[in-house]
């Protein structure tokens, strides 16, 4: 097996640190006729994608703030001048 050029110049071939596996959330509970409880608090879930500057969304923003931001944009689009 040949050694490929590493993407990170500080990560020499064959000596890269182990990749941390992200947390896998548990399966949601089954809801047979009963109300399901919230599994994750939106204030604790962080957006990890790229900044979406045109929408005011930034990496690290909480899910609650992201939804509020999108809702504001949608509501502004539906207002008649």
In a domain, 2, yes or no: no
Q: Is the pLDDT of residue 55 over 70?
A: yes
In a domain, 8, yes or no: no
The answer to whether 14 and 4 are in contact (CB under 8 A) is no
Q: Is the pLDDT of residue 58 over 80?
A: yes
74: tokens are 């949608």
In a domain, 32, yes or no: no
Global confidence as pTM: 0.48
In a domain, 68, yes or no: yes
Domain that holds residue 46: 41-81
In a domain, 57, yes or no: yes
In a domain, 50, yes or no: yes
In total, how many domains does the chain have?
A: 1
In a domain, 73, yes or no: yes
Q: How many residues does the chain have?
A: 81
In a domain, 67, yes or no: yes
C-alpha dist (Å) from residue 78 to 30, 52, 67, 73, 75: 36, 21, 17, 9, 5
Long-range Cβ contact pairs of 74-80 (< 8 A, separation 24 or more): none
- Identify the three-state secondary structure at position 57: strand
Which residues are 46's β-sheet partners? 62
């Amino acid at each position: 097996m040949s050694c490929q050029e590493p993407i990170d110049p500080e990560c020499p071939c064959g000596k890269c640190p182990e990749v941390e596996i992200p947390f896998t959330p548990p399966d949601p509970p089954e809801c047979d006729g009963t109300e399901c409880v919230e599994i994750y608090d939106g204030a604790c879930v962080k957006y990890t994608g790229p900044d979406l500057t045109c929408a005011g969304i930034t990496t690290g923003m909480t899910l609650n703030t992201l939804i509020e931001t999108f809702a504001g944009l949608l509501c502004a689009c539906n207002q008649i001048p």
